[in-house]
Amino acid sequence: MNAPAANTWSAYPDARGRFGDYGGRYVAETLMPLVLELDGAYRAAKGDPAFQAELDDFLTHYVGRPSPLYFAERLTAHHAGNGAKGGGCARIWFKRDELNHTGAHKINNCMGQILLARRMGRTRIIAETGAGQHGVATATVCARFGLPCVIYMGATDVERQKPNVFRMRLLGAEIVPVTSGRGTLKDAMNEAMRDWVTNVEDTYYLIGTAAGPHPYPAMVRDFQAVIGREARAQMLERAGKLPDACVASIGGGSNAIGLFHPFLEDDVRLIGIEAAGHGLTSGQHAASMTGGRPGVLHGNKTYLLQDDDGQILDAHSISAGLDYPGIGPEHAWLKDSGRAEYRTATDMEALAAFQECARLEGIIPALEPAHALARVGEIAREVGRGGDVVLNMCGRGDKDIYTVADALAGHADHPAETKL
Amino acid sequence: MSVARLDARFALCRAEDRAAFVAYLMAGDPDAGRSLALLRGLSAAGADVIELGFPFSDPMAEGPPIQRASLRALEAGTTLASTLELVRRFRAGERDTPLILMGYLNPVLSYGYDRFSSDAAEAGVDGLLVVDCPPEEADDLADALDPHGLALVRLAAPTTDAARLPAVVRRASGFVYYVSVAGVTGVKSAAAETVAPAVERIRAAAGGLPVAVGFGIRTPEQAAAVAQAADAVVVGSALVDTLAKHGVEAALGQASALAQAVRNARR
Ligand SMILES: Cc1ncc(COP(=O)(O)O)c(C=O)c1O
């Protein structure tokens, strides 16, 4: 992969929506004019101080930004104790986006896109959701602005994320359970695209991660980059220096790219954690970069889980939010060019980290950041004493308590239970 | 042969002052044997052009009938390679009826553009239509297909405005496919009176290339109405549904009724 000259990482994508060979706009002709119109509208909004001021105002007073940067002292001490040499561990900080209104980073993007949809005169909002966090955030901003909202959600996910389904209904959204495929996020996204291509006049498709046809990957990243901008300023203020590493879980990649992007030109390691499900060799995982190869799906070229014929494989993760066989194109490019690194954590490792964080820090994380928590100890030890590692605590775990209870009941000899 | 086979068939239809009838089926639906029987029967039933779908796990622009066909085909083990094998066997007995493949980009990308182009030409494919590959992303694929004389059929939609149309039909060959309604396959159908002006607009922009109209055409009456203005009428979901419910013979009977309606539309 052609790596760009130093200090130009953040200048991507190019005008065609390309991050190197990745990204682009692979959509049906019916949607192409809409995607181009969105690109124009977004570029205009991005350059309009009034739009940015309106967004900032909502982020402050409705979402609750800035989110705190918290020194996870007990988790740090725990991992320092686990170190081979003992005590050789960087400080672990949580960027607390789980404290946002609706409980995850998803609302940062939803607030930006709903203001754009209003600017474009769209009167009906559709979205896909996996964990339901994006669905809840979309339903929330739709309620706030009085717009009808249809959420496509895989039937499997409707089952395993019941609290969020109820929240969306309370917020006035219509939930459409999707039974095609295996009934998870990829199938929900197919169905949302089918709705969009059918309702081209009035409908705005509010994609929930940094993937899809250009401009979505860049636009969602820009709206999520508030995470990294705040974290950068907060680290400088608190520690007088930049962190040595940033760590985030990877579903479609929006919370990770939001944290990473403002650090792209800095000497800071960027590490994304993919979901390894039952293990990379089990064939049941969601690690598209570690276990997949490049292809085209949902409007962009990127790493995908696929068979030899180019058929997309079903992903698996205990975390519905990571259960997606693709990844945003910017991550595909950052991986190939070596600017970011990607590791994995299994369902079991995430479950253990979930409980560990709850008991050590009094913070019940979502299962998504629990994957990042599962690797943060080893990363903090690699960085070593005196260093700083920022972990994106991108969601809280209220939505996951039933899933976790089921998983623990099914594994009476679960290592995490005995460890803690 | 290839694009020349398409050109010859459209020239013949023009000489007879009629629209062409394009029949869509999914390769390997419900299995390779019945799919081959249907393919072989279609030209006898009056199909001027065959559009052979190859399955994809995520058919984002299809309605329920073709989604289900795609699933059946995948369950029967159909791949892009086995689709080419089907074409090879069809071509052993049929040289004149043009056949284009239709599907999504990822199986073609995974097969490799160059290898696909030479294998497809060798099997007797005449062109390719890729739903999720707009002109902005199509140059590499067109460059691979061109040396083998394979058409990359371009799609125009109701949302394609006059400013965009020239870019859409740039490098078009064979024919242009007009997706007559905004939506997925097999659900809505276009009002016949909106079709004629769109066809004229596209034909003019594409330097006189034939314009085929599809999406939502199910009955002989609808087909005849579209055949007044269009150079070709495409029927897919209706045939796929009949095949699923009543088998090969019934689908061929329906194809024959549709072909008759298209042939007689301008009389
Ligand atoms: C809390 C949380 N984190 C992470 C994700 C994964 O998405 P992304 O990789 O786009 O941040 C989700 C998705 O639903 C989520 O709810």
Taking an 8 Å Cβ-Cβ cutoff, which residues of chain A contact chain B?
16, 24-34, 36, 180-181, 186, 190, 193-194, 197-200, 295-299, 304, 306, 308-313
What pLDDT, on a 0 to 100 scale, did the predictor assign at position A1? 47
What pLDDT, on a 0 to 100 scale, did the predictor assign at position B198? 96
Is A285:A278 a contact under the CB 8 Å cutoff? yes
Residues in contact with A378: Cβ distance below 8 Å, sequence separation at least 6, in sequence order:
none
Nearest CB neighbour to B184, from listed A27, A197, A310: A197
Q: In this structure, are A173 and A231 located in the same domain? A: no
Asked if pLDDT for residue B181 goes beyond 70, the answer is yes
Mean pLDDT of B12-33: 98
- In chain A, which residue's Cα lies nearest the Cα of B157? A30
CA angle B9, B11, B16 (to 5 degrees): 95
Mean pLDDT of B23-33: 98
**pLDDT category, A88, cuts 50, 70, 90?**
confident
- Domain contains A313: yes
The domain that contains B81 carries what CATH number?
3.20.20.70
**pLDDT category, A183, cuts 50, 70, 90?**
confident
CA angle B164, B170, B173 (to 5 degrees): 130
The domain that contains A82 carries what CATH number?
3.40.50.1100
Domain count for chain A? 2
What pLDDT, on a 0 to 100 scale, did the predictor assign at position A176? 97
**A245 to chain B, closest Cα gap in Å:** 35
What pLDDT, on a 0 to 100 scale, did the predictor assign at position A416? 47
Asked if pLDDT for residue A417 goes beyond 50, the answer is no
Asked if pLDDT for residue A132 goes beyond 80, the answer is yes
Is A134:A171 a contact under the CB 8 Å cutoff? no
What is the three-class DSSP state of A54? helix
Q: In this structure, are A346 and A407 located in the same domain? A: yes
Asked if pLDDT for residue A413 goes beyond 60, the answer is no
Asked if pLDDT for residue A329 goes beyond 70, the answer is yes
Is A369:A249 a contact under the CB 8 Å cutoff? yes
- In chain B, which residue's Cα lies nearest the Cα of A310? B107
Please tell me the least confidently modeled range out of A73-77, A156-160, B217-221: A156-160
What pLDDT, on a 0 to 100 scale, did the predictor assign at position A342? 98
Q: What tokens appear for B19 in the block? A: 């629209």
Nearest CB neighbour to B110, from listed A29, A190, A306: A306
Asked if pLDDT for residue A2 goes beyond 80, the answer is no
pLDDT digits (tens, 9 = 90+) for A7-63: 689 999 999 999 999 999 999 999 999 999 999 999 999 999 999 999 999 999 999
Write the DSSP symbol of residue A294: E
Give the Cβ contact number of residue A412 at 10 Å: 7
Nearest CB neighbour to A30, from listed B57, B106, B182: B182
Testing the interface with A: which of B62, B79, B159 to mutate, by most A Cβ within 10 A? B159
Range of the domain at B184: 3-264
Pairing of strands A299-304, A293-297: antiparallel
pLDDT digits (tens, 9 = 90+) for B102-117: 999 999 999 999 999 9
Q: Minimal CA–CA distance to B80: which of B46, B115, B47, B50? A: B115
Domain count for chain B? 1
Testing the interface with B: which of A18, A21, A29 to mutate, by most B Cβ within 10 A? A29
Q: In this structure, are A341 and A281 located in the same domain? A: yes
Q: In this structure, are A318 and A386 located in the same domain? A: yes
**B168 to chain A, closest Cα gap in Å:** 9
Amino acid type, A63 = V
**A28 to B132: CB separation less than 8 angstroms, yes or no:** yes
Asked if pLDDT for residue A414 goes beyond 60, the answer is no
**pLDDT category, B225, cuts 50, 70, 90?**
very high
Q: In this structure, are A238 and A344 located in the same domain? A: yes
**pLDDT category, A83, cuts 50, 70, 90?**
low
What pLDDT, on a 0 to 100 scale, did the predictor assign at position B187? 81
Q: What is the ipTM of this complex?
A: 0.96
Q: In this structure, are A150 and A259 located in the same domain? A: no
Q: What one-character-per-residue DSSP string does A317-357 give?
A: -SSGGG--S---HHHHHHHHHTSEEEEEEEHHHHHHHHHHH
Residue nearest (by alpha carbon) to ligand 1 atom 10? A254
What pLDDT, on a 0 to 100 scale, did the predictor assign at position A182? 77
Residue nearest (by alpha carbon) to ligand 1 atom 14? A321
Nearest CB neighbour to B159, from listed A30, A297, A313: A30
| Phi then psi dihedrals of residue B174, to 5 deg | 80, -80
Tell me what percent of the residues of chain A surpass a pLDDT of 90: 88
Q: In this structure, are A358 and A296 located in the same domain? A: yes
**B57 to A298: CB separation less than 8 angstroms, yes or no:** no
Residue nearest (by alpha carbon) to ligand 1 atom 5? A321
Mutate to test the pocket of ligand 1, among A255, A317, A364 (most ligand atoms within 8 A of CB): A255
What is the three-class DSSP state of A396? strand
| CA A67 to chain centroid | 16
Mutate to test the pocket of ligand 1, among A99, A100, A105 (most ligand atoms within 8 A of CB): A105
**A310 to B110: CB separation less than 8 angstroms, yes or no:** yes
* Alpha-carbon gap, residue A73 to A46, rounded angstroms: 38
| Phi then psi dihedrals of residue A12, to 5 deg | -90, 155
What pLDDT, on a 0 to 100 scale, did the predictor assign at position A226? 98
pLDDT digits (tens, 9 = 90+) for A195-231: 999 999 999 999 999 999 999 999 999 999 999 999 9
Q: In this structure, are A214 and A321 located in the same domain? A: no
Asked if pLDDT for residue A277 goes beyond 80, the answer is yes
pLDDT digits (tens, 9 = 90+) for A343-400: 999 999 999 999 999 999 999 999 999 999 999 999 999 999 999 999 999 999 998 9
**B72 to chain A, closest Cα gap in Å:** 12
What pLDDT, on a 0 to 100 scale, did the predictor assign at position B216? 87
Span from the CA of A177 to the centroid of ligand 1 (angstroms): 19
* Alpha-carbon gap, residue B236 to B64, rounded angstroms: 12
List, chain by chain if needed, residues with CB within 6 Å of any ligand 1 atom.
A 104, 106, 130-131, 133-134, 209, 249-256, 321-322, 366, 368, 394-395
- In chain A, which residue's Cα lies nearest the Cα of B71? A181
Q: Which of A189, A220, A251 is the last residue of a domain?
A: A220
**pLDDT category, A148, cuts 50, 70, 90?**
very high
Range of the domain at A184: 30-62+106-220
Q: What one-character-per-residue DSSP string does chain B give?
A: -THHHHHHHHHHHHHTT--EEEEEEETTSS-HHHHHHHHHHHHHTT-SEEEEE---S--TT--HHHHHHHHHHHHTT--HHHHHHHHHHHHTT-SSS-EEEEE-HHHHHHH-HHHHHHHHHHHT--EEEETT--GGG-HHHHHHHGGGT-EE-EEE-TT--TTTHHHHHTT--S-EEEE-SSS-TTS----HHHHHHHHHHHHHHTTT--EEEESS--SHHHHHHHHTT-SEEEE-HHHHHHHHHH-HHHHHHHHHHHHHHHHHTT-
**B79 to chain A, closest Cα gap in Å:** 6
Q: In this structure, are A189 and A325 located in the same domain? A: no
Asked if pLDDT for residue A253 goes beyond 80, the answer is yes
Q: Which of A164, A191, A220 is the last residue of a domain?
A: A220
Q: What one-character-per-residue DSSP string does B143-187 give?
A: HHHGGGT-EE-EEE-TT--TTTHHHHHTT--S-EEEE-SSS-TTS
**pLDDT averaged over chain B?**
96
Asked if pLDDT for residue A419 goes beyond 50, the answer is no
Q: Which residue has the higher pLDDT, A81 or B238?
A: B238
Asked if pLDDT for residue A418 goes beyond 50, the answer is no
**pLDDT category, B1, cuts 50, 70, 90?**
low
Q: In this structure, are A84 and A139 located in the same domain? A: no
- Domain contains A360: yes
Residues in contact with A404: Cβ distance below 8 Å, sequence separation at least 6, in sequence order:
A351, A354, A355, A367, A397
Q: Which of A173, A197, A220 is the last residue of a domain?
A: A220
**A26 to B134: CB separation less than 8 angstroms, yes or no:** yes
Asked if pLDDT for residue B246 goes beyond 60, the answer is yes
Rama region for B122: left / alpha / beta (φ>0; ψ in -120 to 50; rest): alpha
